[in-house]
Amino acid sequence: MRILLCNDDGILAPGIAAMYDVLAVDHDVTVVAPALVQSATAHAITIRLPLICHKVHVGGRFHGTSVEGSPADCVKLAVHALMPEKPDLVVSGMNSGANVGIHVLYSGTVAAAAEGAMLGCPAIAVSLEYSSELNFDRAAVVARRVIDQIVSYGVAPGHLYNVNIPAQKPGWPRGVRVGPQSTLGLDEKLEKRADPNGRDYYWLTGNFGDTSREVDTDLKLLREGYVTVTPLHFDLTHVPRLRAMAEWNWDNVRMR
């Protein structure tokens, strides 16, 4: 397969190198990734500035293209300009930190995969839950096995999957589970602090709350030590509400 490999941690991140190593064994892998860390950039794209890119050789492991832009920029550029043929698969990651629940909406990792799906490619985002000891090489072996399983069942243009690997502990991961995206909110706080010059600034903190009432969501399953796989789509339409609103009377809305 022709695989486009991207991420949001930057082209020098260890996670993308680990993914390259396991994918390049028997696939043609093209690496196009941000020059700098682009975490939590979501699906931002560059429209008012040029996209500057450079060929780089990273750690003796791979050649790739470094892009001064967002993860979604990288995928657009690769598919439309850098690759002679459209990739058979887009892989984004491996991200340092899980992308489950509503973090999916903020994630540059998931956005890169979603951009690939929007451009007509099957796409898979891969993330590793953050911990004090991140073994990307071991996690990449697990990710490769999950990717192979997904592909073996057949992937089509526009198919989008989100894969999360739990923090490494003895006996983990416990297996692979398919689950929906959690919609549990964050317990967010904006902490007010002062810099050395006495100027106020705010620091966003927060974490997910109790998942005991959730039924096998990606967040709950990841906390239980499972690799989670969630099929996603980029159509945000709320279909039941759309059907209900179709019955509303819009004729009384004044246009002038």
Q: Would the pLDDT of 209 be above 90?
A: no
Q: Would the pLDDT of 255 be above 90?
A: no
Percent of the chain clearing pLDDT 90 (strictly above) = 86
Cβ(103)–Cβ(33) below 8 Å: no
Q: What is the mean pLDDT of the chain?
A: 94
| Cα dihedral 210, 213, 217, 222 sign | positive
Q: In which band, very low, low, confident or very high, does the pLDDT at 186 lie, cut at 50, 70 and 90?
A: confident
Residue that wins the pLDDT comparison between 188 and 37: 37
Q: 32 pairs with which residues across the strands?
A: 65
**At how many degrees (to 10) do helices 14-23 and 136-152 cross?**
50
What does pTM read for this prediction?
A: 0.94
The architecture (CATH level 2) of 2-182+212-245 comes to 3-Layer(aba) Sandwich (3.40)
CA distance 176 to 126: 13
The answer for 146, left when phi > 0, alpha when psi is -120 to 50, beta otherwise, is alpha
Write the CA distances from 35 to 52, 64, 104, integer angstroms: 10, 11, 22
For the stretch 112-145, pLDDT in tens is: 999 999 999 999 999 999 998 899 999 999 999 9
